[in-house]
Structure 1
Amino acid sequence: MEDHIAQHGAAKPRLGWRDLGNISFGFFGIQIGFALQNANMSRVFQSLGSNVDDLAALWVAAPLTGLLVQPVIGHLSDRTWLGRFGRRRPYFLAGAILAALALAAMPLSHVLIGAALLLWLLDASLNISMEPFRAFVGDMLGRDQHTAGYAVQTAFIGVGAVVGSLFPSVLDWAGVSNVAPAGEIPATVRYSFWAGGAALLASVLWTVLSTREYSPAQMAAFGEAHDAPAPDAALARRNPAAALIWLAAGGLLALLVAHYALAKELYLLAALLGAYGLAYAAAILMARAGRPNMLSSVVGDFSGMPPLMKRLALVQFFSWSALFVMWIYSTPIVAQYAFGASDPASPAYQQAANWVGRLFSIYNGVAAIAALALLPWLSARIGKARTHALSLCCGAAGFASYLVIRSPEALQLAEIGIGICWASILAMPYAILASSLPQSKLGVSMGLFNVFVVVPQLLVATVMRSVMEAFFPGQPVYTMGFAAATLLIAAGAMLTVRTES
């Protein structure tokens, strides 16, 4: 790699497909972990005694963990250099080891609270590995290869998700028991989690061992030094009293929850608003005192996002609202409407859960193909922004079809639109963002961008239950209509984003 630098001067060398694959291969295993989580955790929770109305509350640990972990890991990885071990790779490996342990322990849960705590550990660990991978593409590639780099990453995400989603169905086909007594997890799920943990660790090790990161001196030669940025002067000029707005919003929400007897999970959202208000005030005071630290740096970067990042953040907010609806409610929806089953202990329900794994594998398989073939071709002709808007509309059509399709086989057609949408969500916003951010803040910026992935998930997890109980009790299929609407809003917001291509 050093020879390339000598030949190309200050430009990062263009990498071939093999190197692009090595950079992102670890995401194959990470996505196996996410796929097993997304396709099976509702099934695990219901097998251990949860009812459908409580699923969103149990899922809330996952997005909350990402909200806290990703900006911190991004900030730390921007400032890490461990010699030959590198900057991002230590976090890849640490997260993979913890996630593999969580996947090994999850199927051994016999009580609901234990499974919920392990979901928290699993999601935290997956986020520790995942966040630096986003920045890793920007570290290793020149701007002219960002789209290709994130497309390859998305392809590995799609393939990994197909493998993770199909594990239980393949084991069922092989004769492993797919049913279990009440209060126990089926053997297909247990073995899937164990195999997934091994695959996750092996794939991350491949990236760690097959890649070598650019040193700080090399990054400086590229004009992309990783020196820690100076304290945010703009943050120091702000008034700490503005934090009262966030505190007041949190307090008002808490009062509304108490007065109208809303879902108690909304207290969590109120607490987050108040906590950000306190963090905002503390960060301003620290910046004024000239004491640079992680809190003031992260808050300063969040409050001072460039306009392009703000517009993309709005798109992410509405896009991920739809995705979280799908992950929470797909299993009970397919079981109830396509298989006529509501009892998690029944064979028909477990068959429906396996079918959801198949549906998830289809949209992820479509995403892998679209990322490498359709999206680059389309973005070269109509631009990244229009490509993403069109892809979001494809996803909206897929979700809306759940309102009318009742055949398990026909639901597979809906996954084509969802797969195109998923590929674009994973590739286009990051390709646009990576080309517009300073390298010294790439990790923390990617972590902060994840806030707009996490906050809509928290809202869905805390608000959707109240909405469903008030307007559509016992009819979870209408959550798919909500998902379709939010994707259309995201598509409209994407058309306001201006990029060079």
Structure 2
Amino acid sequence: MPVKPRLSFWQIWNMSFGFLGIQFGFALQGGFVSRIFQTLGAEKDSLPFLWIAAPLTGLLVQPIVGYFSDRTWHPWLGRRRPFFLAGAVLSSIALIFMPHSPTLWMAAGLLWVLDASINISMEPFRALVADKLPESQRSYGFVLQTLIIGIGTWVASNLPWFITRLGVPNEAGPGVVPPSVQIAFAIGAFVFMASILVTVFTTREYPPDDLQAFRQQHQREGNFLGEILHHVAHMPAQMRRLGWVQFFSWFAFFAMWSLATPGLTEHVFHAPAPLAGAYDMSIPAQAEAFRAANAAYQNAADLVGSYMGWYGLSSMLVALLLTLYAARRGLNRKAVHLASLTLGGLGFISMYFVPQPAWLILSFALVGVAWASILSMPYALLSSHVPADRMGIYMGIFNMFIVIPQIVAATLLGPLMRGLFDNQSIHALVLSGVSLLLAAVAVLRVSNQVATDEVPA
């Protein structure tokens, strides 16, 4: 394969810009889906299980998308971009309809559609960086992706709060998602589609050296399930070591996405979500009590989403610093990841002790340091340890280490809350902190060396 040319900042920016839309989708999902579920009547200890759709779809979709994107070549769209487009269309549809769900089961079903669709777009983006960039620019490329992700996280997390400031109501009747959230999701759908189109129209992919040989090779190979299982069984040692780091990292963030809203509205704002069934709306005093409690919860949930946006802003600033550094010299990827995970763990634990809600800005800023590293360093540490012509499938398999811990968390967090945490959601965020500290310990076993021949093609 010819030596890959170094790309300019704007070339790397354009090829990564679609991540802005992907992160709009993820940030709206992570910050406000639990709010939608609670508004539609979900009990807080059932939230992690309702969220199980997200990791289950990732477990199924990511390796399959990686497998087929390795084998795809479209004359105009290339290898990865057909998947960007398909995922963007489906994600935009799901974002528009989810906050209009009349029932809890419909919202949970749309979460399946949304997460599967985001995964169709997201997984090939990781492979695209490795496809397009030489080894010397891969840390730079992954960190620049993280910078764009940080921008998307911060803006999307603040959308309902900002829309409310413009005069759009952030409360509604029992079982109705507020208009501010509905408009935010519609904006997210537009940004998702538009940013993906920027990447599709501005980025070209390298074609196979011999297109006929490329197609014949993949026609001779076995079925996709057999090959996925083969690569799982023969994954590089570096991937196995990073798998433990990923397990504890993504366990922590799943707990945050599913339980930060109930945990912080209760523990920090003292404004838990009211259950409409506990009020007799035919009695004016009880109807007014529900309205007041619901207004307090929706206002607190707006602020929780806004404060969560600070982890996106923090990750954006950290990624910017790493981008400027990586553009000029090599990063010690292992040291960066260990330090970042440690700071993130302390940020999660501090949420239990904040004296005032505004202190959550500092807590989430520390979490954002870990987020910036989680979105870049593991992929940079892995990319040189897998063969170039199997980059898609290996990135898909590697992402299984993202979804498996989320499935474990979705299964265990509800029983843990009921049996061990006295149904206090804030303890799940403390557990997130402990989990990130364990991830930092697991980094010590990861190799910091570049290797290109660890696995056979």
Match of 1:72 in 2: 64
- The letter for the 2-side match of 1:50 is A
Alignment partner, residue 268 of structure 1: none
Question: Does 2:75 correspond to 1:83?
Answer: yes
The alignment partner of 2:271 has SS state of: coil
**Which aligned pairs between 1:143-182 and structure 2 lie closer than 5 A?**
143-182=135-174
Partner of 1:194: 186
Q: Shift of the alpha carbon at 1:375?
A: 7.1
Question: 1:424: Cα distance to partner?
Answer: 0.2
Q: 2:298 aligns with which of 350, 372, 391?
A: 350
Task: State the alpha-carbon separation in 1 of the partners of residues 337 and 96 from structure 2.
Answer: 37
Change (3 A) 1:31 1:219: farther
The residue that corresponds to 1:371 in the other structure is: 319
Identity %: 44
Match of 1:466 in 2: 415
| Equivalent residue for 1:491, pick from 436, 440, 445 | 440
| Cα offset, 1:338, TM superposition | 1.6
1:293 match:
223
Alignment partner, residue 446 of structure 1: 395
> 1:340 Cα deviation (Å)?
0.9
Superposition misfits of 4+ residues, deviation over 2 angstroms:
225-231, 374-382
CA distance in 2 between counterparts of 1:229 and 1:459 reads: 38
Q: Does 1:361 align with 2:309?
A: yes
> Contact 1:70–1:131 at 8 Å: present in 2 too?
yes
Which residue of structure 2 lines up, in the alignment, with residue 243 of structure 1?
A: none
Matches within 5 A, 1:152-301: 152-217=144-209, 292-301=222-231
Question: In structure 2, do the counterparts of structure 1 residues 351 and 228 end up closer, same or farther at CA, with 3 Å as the change threshold?
Answer: farther
**Residues in 1 aligned to 2:323 and 2:133: alpha-carbon distance in whole angstroms:** 19
Counterpart Cα distance in 2 of 1:32 and 1:205:
15
Offset of residue 499 of structure 1: 1.7
Residue 104 of structure 2 is aligned to residue 112 of structure 1: yes
Cα distance change on mapping 1:215 and 1:382 into 2, 3 Å: closer
Say whether the 8 Å CA contact 1:219–1:226 is kept in structure 2.
Answer: yes
Q: Is the 8 A contact 1:104 1:194 kept in 2?
A: yes
Q: 1:39 to 1:229 in 2, by over 3 A?
A: farther
1:318-337 alignment, distance < 5 Å:
318-337=248-267
- Partner of residue 11 from structure 1, selected from 3, 22, 26: 3
Matched, 1:60 2:8: no
**Highest relative contact order (Cα 8 Å, sep 6+), 1 or 2?**
2
Sort the Cα spacing of 1:100 and 1:227 in 2 relative to 1 into closer, same or farther, 3 A. Answer: same
Tell me if the contact between 1:29 and 1:196 (Cα under 8 Å) persists in the aligned partners: yes
**CA deviation digits over 1:278-334, x for unaligned, max 9?**
xxxxxxxxxxxx971101000111111110111011100011011111111111111
Aligned to 2:405: 456
Output the CA distance in 2 between the equivalents of 1:450 and 1:162.
24
After superposition, where does 1:298-313 map in structure 2 within 5 Å? Answer: 298-313=228-243
Deviations for 1:10-60, whole angstroms, at most 9, x for unmatched residues?
321111110010110000011001101110000000000101011011100
Distance 1:463 1:138 in 2: 35
| Distance (whole Å) between structure 1 residues aligned to residue 137 and residue 198 of structure 2 | 22
CA contact (8 A) 2:313 2:365 kept: no
* Post-superposition offset of 1:369: 1.3
In the alignment, the residues of structure 2 paired with residue 43 and residue 383 of structure 1 have an alpha-carbon distance, to the nearest angstrom, of 39
Amino acid in structure 1 at the alignment position of 2:15 = I
Contact 2:250 2:405 in 1 (8 A): yes
Cα deviation 1:111-164 (Å, max 9, x = unaligned): 000000000000000000000001010111111110010011011111011111
User: How big is the shift at 1:381?
Assistant: 7.6
Asked if 2 retains the 8 angstrom alpha-carbon contact of 1:321 and 1:483, the reply is yes
Secondary structure in 2 matching 1:189:
helix
Q: What amino acid does structure 2 have at the position aligned with 1:101?
A: I
How far does residue 377 in structure 1 lie from its aligned partner after superposition?
Answer: 3.8
Contact 1:74 1:445 (C-alpha < 8 Å) held by counterparts = yes
Q: SS where residue 410 of structure 1 aligns? A: helix
Question: 2:143–2:322: 8 Å Cα contact kept in structure 1?
Answer: no
Q: 1:138 to 1:227 in 2, by over 3 A?
A: farther
* Alignment size in residue pairs: 431
1:100 corresponds in structure 2 to: 92
Q: Which amino acid counterpart does residue 256 of structure 2 have in structure 1?
A: M
In structure 2, the CA distance between the partners of 1:298 and 1:170, relative to structure 1 (3 Å rule), is: same
- Quick check: 1:391 aligned with 2:340? yes
Matched, 1:339 2:287: no
In structure 2, how many angstroms separate the alpha carbons of the residues matched to 1:28 and 1:60? 24
Is 2:92–2:190's contact at 8 Å kept on the other side of the alignment?
yes
Contact 1:227–1:440 (Cα < 8 Å) also in 2? no
Amino acid at match of 2:89: I
* Closer/same/farther in 2, CA of residues 443 and 381 from structure 1, 3 Å limit: closer
Distance 2:2 2:99 in 1: 51
- Between stretches 410-419 and 209-218, larger displacement belongs to 209-218
Query: Aligned with 1:317: secondary structure?
Result: helix
Per-residue deviation at 1:500? 2.4
Please say if residues 228 and 440 of structure 1, whose CA atoms lie closer than 8 Å, have aligned partners that are also in contact: no
8 Å CA contact 2:50–2:108 kept in 1: the answer is yes
Distance of aligned partners of 1:146 and 1:209 in 2 relative to their CA distance in 1, 3 Å threshold: same
- Counterpart secondary structure, 2:173: coil
SS in 1 for 2:140: helix
Q: Say whether residues 1:400 and 2:349 are aligned partners.
A: yes
CA RMSD of aligned residues (A): 2.0
8 Å contact kept, 1:226–1:439: no
| 1:382, distance to aligned residue in structure 2 (A) | 7.0
Cα deviation, residue 93, structure 1: 0.3
How has the CA–CA distance of structure 1 residues 57 and 138 changed in structure 2, closer, same or farther, with 3 Å as cutoff? same
1:297 and 1:153 map into 2 onto residues whose CA distance is: 29
> Is this contact kept in 2: 1:27–1:130, CA < 8 A?
yes
SS of alignment partner, residue 445 of structure 2: coil
